Amino acid sequence: MTGKIQRKFFLWSSLIMITAGLFLSVVLYFHLKNLLTFEVKDKAHLVFAQVDAVQSYVRKVLRPTMYAILPRNKFVLQAMSTSYISRAVMERMNFHKDDYYYRRVAINARNPDFEPDELEMSLIKYFEASPQLKLWEGYKKIGQDEYYVMARPVRFDKSCMYCHGRVSDAPREIVNIYGDKRGFGHHPGEIGGLDIVALPVQSVVMQIIGTSFSYALMVFAGGIFVLAVLNVSFKSLVVNDLRKILDIFKTYFNYDYKPRKLTEQRKIDDEIDEIIYATQGLAKYLKEVEEEEKRMLLKMQHSEKMIAVGRLAAGLAHEINNPLGVILCYAQILRSSLEDEQQLKDMDVIIKHTKMAQKVLTDLLNFARPKKAEKTKLPPEEVIAGLASVFKVQADTRQVKFTTRIDSPLPPIIADRAALEQVLTNLFLNSLDAVPPDKGHIELYVYADGNSNLVFGIRDNGPGIIDEDMDRIFDPFYTTKEPGQGTGLGLAVVYSLVQEMDGDIRVKNDGGAVFEILLKTKQY
């Protein structure tokens, strides 16, 4: 089976191979063409050097010698004309027609064969337009074929004027041979014609193109072979292992393919994308597990502590409860026989404090004794309404504002009514202790959080709970109240009751303390 990553790899590597092949052959083409230019340029210079040598010999040696031995006005074309002699010599060298050709052309030439053709004329015009230029070279098409052309202007100097100036000054022989029309009337410095060498390059250029093309083909063929080898090794080295990793993920970890948020949406194109996605899923999962583990550990530590304290308290309560009962009983008997006002008052203090001690013990036993929950179907609105009437009376006596808020409709829960009422009552009493006496406000509310939880909450506008206390408020006997004011058992009881209901407690500060009890609606 071909993997998507393998297909991608194959596509990309072929693209790279093809591009590299094309690039190399283009480079090769230009390199070879450069070499060719170098070669032909050299050859063209050599031809010009030959022409120069011949002409210089004529001008400096042959012609003066002839003038010296010939009578005045005598002119021997074959031994004295630079153009004639250089053409004659170069014609003898021109036998390699395939190698190059040389021409010396002149405007209004004495021999009409040496009139400039179209290309030559355009070059003469070019030199006339830019007098500082001494040479032109480059590739040109002549007829059907490509040539490398090198040309230079031929300018008349003073020594040329004898034969090319006025007809009356010219040697008789020249007028006799060529007539008095062509080749006269020139001035020193004027461009009279052109030396031009052209080297055919057509076949070499074709060869270069052929070589570059076959080079490209070679790279391509080699590339395909290399690709095939790479493909096979890529499959065995990478793709197979990637598949194994993916299989492991699929077997042991059900990673979710669907991104949760739109911003997380990414394209899953190939195996690597899939592995990245699966790894992200795994990392998230591990993080969640770690956090859950921490929470569970804390919860367990706390419940261990509660159980231990509960056992201790239960034992202790029994030991104290009986003597307290005896004290109360005898105190009441004694009271009935008293008449003195002061003694009656004192006895009342004893009875009041004994009752208070009994209340603490009842709380302790409530906290410690495993209770049998009586679960019934409870409409949350009804629970709130029942409690509200009681809370309202208590709030009124302290001039505290009390309100309720109920999101409707709400699903019913199945729970122990007494336990739930006890929890909310304990929270309410704490709030009542916490709020400022004249401006106090306590709210009792319930809503469904959309996560199959019903949330009962009590919110007050008291001072809230300081951060250091947050971890301790649920501990039994932890209280910040004056001795005799609080037992520190209220929230411990709340905690154990909520645990029994399989619920959760949240505490936060939000303009006061907010306690929320989360009870599952689905599981019942």
Which residue ranges make up the site for ligand ADP (CB under 6 A)? 430-431, 434, 460, 462, 464-465, 473, 478-481, 486-492, 513
Q: How far is the CB of 412 from ligand ADP (least distance, A)?
A: 28
Dist. CA 513–CA 459, nearest whole Å: 6
| 3 φ/ψ angles, rounded to the nearest 5 degrees | -80, 160
Partners of residue 508 on adjacent β-strands? 514
Do 445 and 404 touch, CB atoms closer than 8 A?
A: yes
Contacting range for Mg ion; rule: CB under 5 A; set: 65-73, 189-197, 312-320, 429-437: 429-437
Q: Tell me how far apart the alpha carbons of residues 460 and 217 are, in angstroms, rounded to a whole number.
A: 86
Q: Which is nearer to Mg ion, 54 or 387 (CB)?
A: 387
Closest distance of CB 480 from ligand ADP, Å = 3
Binding at 434: pick from Mg ion, ligand ADP, none (beta carbon under 5-8 Å per type):
ligand ADP
Exactly one of 430, 461, 496, 521 binds Mg ion (CB under 5 A); that residue is 430
Q: State which residue, 105 or 492, has the beta carbon closest to Mg ion.
A: 492
- Torsion from C-alpha of 443, 447, 449, 451, nearest 10 degrees: 130
CA angle 412, 407, 377 (to 5 degrees): 10
The single residue listed with the structure tokens 């599981």 is 523
Rounded least distance, CB 287 to ligand ADP, Å? 32
Strand partners, 513: 509
Tell me whether residue 378 or residue 434 sits nearer to ligand ADP (CB atom). 434
Rounded CA-CA distance 329/321 in Å is 12
57 class by beta-carbon count within 10 Å (0-12 exposed, 13-18 middle, 19+ buried): middle
- Contact present, 188 and 140 (Cβ < 8 Å): no
Note whether 55 binds Mg ion by CB under 5 A: no
The region of 41-49, 237-245, 376-384, 426-434 touching Mg ion under the rule CB under 5 A is: 426-434
Nearer to ligand ADP (CB atom), residue 163 or residue 361: 361
**Least distance to ligand ADP, CB of residue 498, Å:** 13
Asked whether the beta carbons of 167 and 178 are under 8 A apart, the reply is: no
Could you tell me the smallest distance in angstroms from the CB atom of residue 368 to ligand ADP?
15
Shortest distance in whole angstroms from residue 242 CB to ligand ADP: 57
Residue 306 interface partner, choices ligand ADP, Mg ion, none, CB cut-off 5-8 Å depending on type: none
Residue 407 or 433: which CB sits closer to ligand ADP? 433
CB of 457 to ligand ADP, least distance (A): 12
Nearer to ligand ADP, 208 or 465 (CB): 465
Beta carbons of 443 and 493 less than 8 angstroms apart: no
Bridge partner list, 404: 444
The residues, ordered by sequence, that sit 6+ positions from 414 with a Cβ below 8 Å of its Cβ are 375, 376, 377, 378, 524
What does 5 interact with, of ligand ADP, Mg ion, none (CB < 5 to 8 A by kind)? none
Identity of the residue numbered 242: L
Q: Residue 416: what are its φ and ψ, rounded to 5°?
A: -85, 115
Count of positions on this chain that bind Mg ion (CB under 5 A): 2
Residues 512 and 430: their CA atoms lie apart, in Å, by: 12
Task: Give me the least distance between CB of 514 and Mg ion, in Å please.
Answer: 16
Q: Which does 465 bind (CB under 5 to 8 A by kind): Mg ion, ligand ADP, none?
A: ligand ADP
CB of 313 to Mg ion, least distance (A): 16
Q: Which two tokens stand for residue 221?
A: 């063929």
Near Mg ion by CB under 5 A: residue from 476, 490, 503, 512? 490
**Residue among 156 and 402 whose Cβ is closer to ligand ADP:** 402
Question: Choosing among Mg ion, ligand ADP, none, which partner's interface includes residue 487 (Cβ < 5 to 8 Å by kind)?
Answer: ligand ADP
Distance of alpha carbon 232 from alpha carbon 238, whole angstroms: 10
Q: Which is nearer to Mg ion, 132 or 397 (CB)?
A: 397
Residues contributing to the site for Mg ion (CB under 5 A): 430, 490
